[in-house]
């Protein structure tokens, strides 16, 4: 088996959890944990049936706090950890790549994998599916995230939004493969969730946290104008229109509407001050 522990945070993920756990089981990990927040839709039973260990823990308010709680409290017995969301899964070639690189274990002994000894994290591209179609244009594949890391060396950034895995030592290795973000919930659910995201990003923006990320240049531009300019950049200059109607939906809702909503929240918070 692969010397890997998988951590999946979940709440009412009946649409995704079987796909997620079944997919990651193809890596033959040593452990798969689903940290559930008292789901009421049967998520726990499905995850258990698929071979995961379910641990219940009350939501502490932020993703990073829940994930770091899992790192500190789960009985992790593996060299490597994978952070995965319930609506995400890996392409077959990515699974094979990970299995070829990470060390193997028979439960007692660990054999070295194909990575240099100073590598402590693995990053890979995030591909997106929206309205049932893979989004390929408009910069949709530009996001690269570290999701695998050595246990005891990596943690999740304690931020309200855009929380990433950071490591205290070593170097990152870029995988060739991708993983997919493919949420199957309704558009109304998506919009409601992103309204919540907008509030959290507005808090980070006003606190100056966004100036420590890749969005720093974006937030130096005038409010509202930057949302429209960002949409035009993605949809026209980066050829987002080539993805057809699904591409229009993705870049309008995520590239314009969401970013406009963040600016609206920022202005509302400033007025309250």
CATH 3.40.50.2300 fits 2-181, yes or no: no
Enter the pTM of the model: 0.94
User: What integer pLDDT is reported at residue 72 of this predicted model?
Assistant: 98
Q: Where are the domains of the chain?
A: 2-181, 187-272
User: What integer pLDDT is reported at residue 211 of this predicted model?
Assistant: 62
User: What integer pLDDT is reported at residue 162 of this predicted model?
Assistant: 87
Q: What is the block-wise mean pLDDT of the chain (273 residues), using blocks of 10 residues? A: 97 98 98 98 98 98 97 98 98 97 84 90 97 95 96 94 95 97 97 96 85 79 96 98 97 98 95 82
User: What integer pLDDT is reported at residue 180 of this predicted model?
Assistant: 97
Q: Residues of 196-210 as b/e, b for ≥16 C-beta within 10 angstroms? A: ebbbbbbbbbeeebb
User: What integer pLDDT is reported at residue 212 of this predicted model?
Assistant: 65
Cα of 164 vs its chain's centroid, Å: 8
């Amino acid at each position: 088996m692969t010397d890997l522990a998988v951590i999946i945070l979940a709440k009412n993920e009946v649409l995704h959890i079987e796909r997620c756990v079944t997919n990651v089981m193809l890596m033959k990990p040593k452990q798969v944990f689903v940290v559930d927040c008292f789901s009421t839709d049967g998520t726990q039973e499905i995850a258990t049936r698929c071979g995961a260990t379910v641990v219940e823990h009350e939501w502490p308010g932020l993703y990073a706090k829940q994930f770091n709680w899992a790192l500190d409290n789960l009985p992790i017995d593996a060299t490597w950890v994978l952070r995965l969301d319930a609506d995400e899964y890996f392409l077959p070639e990515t699974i094979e790549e990970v299995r070829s690189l990470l060390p193997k274990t028979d439960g007692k002994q660990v054999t070295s994998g194909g990575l240099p000894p100073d590598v402590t994290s693995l990053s890979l591209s995030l591909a997106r599916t929206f309205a049932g179609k893979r989004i390929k244009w408009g910069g949709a594949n530009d996001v690269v995230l570290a999701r695998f890391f050595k246990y005891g060396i990596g943690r999740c950034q304690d931020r309200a939004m855009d929380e990433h895995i950071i490591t205290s030592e070593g170097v990152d290795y870029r995988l060739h493969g991708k993983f997919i973000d493919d949420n199957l919930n309704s558009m109304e659910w998506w919009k409601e969730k992103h309204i919540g995201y907008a509030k959290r990003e507005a808090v980070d923006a006003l606190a100056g946290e966004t100036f420590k990320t890749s969005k720093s240049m974006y937030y130096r531009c005038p409010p509202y104008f930057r949302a429209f300019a960002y949409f035009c950049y993605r949809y026209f200059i980066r050829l987002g229109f080539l993805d057809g109607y699904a591409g229009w939906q993705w870049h309008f809702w995520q590239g314009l509407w969401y970013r406009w909503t963040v600016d609206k929240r920022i202005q509302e918070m400033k007025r309250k001050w």
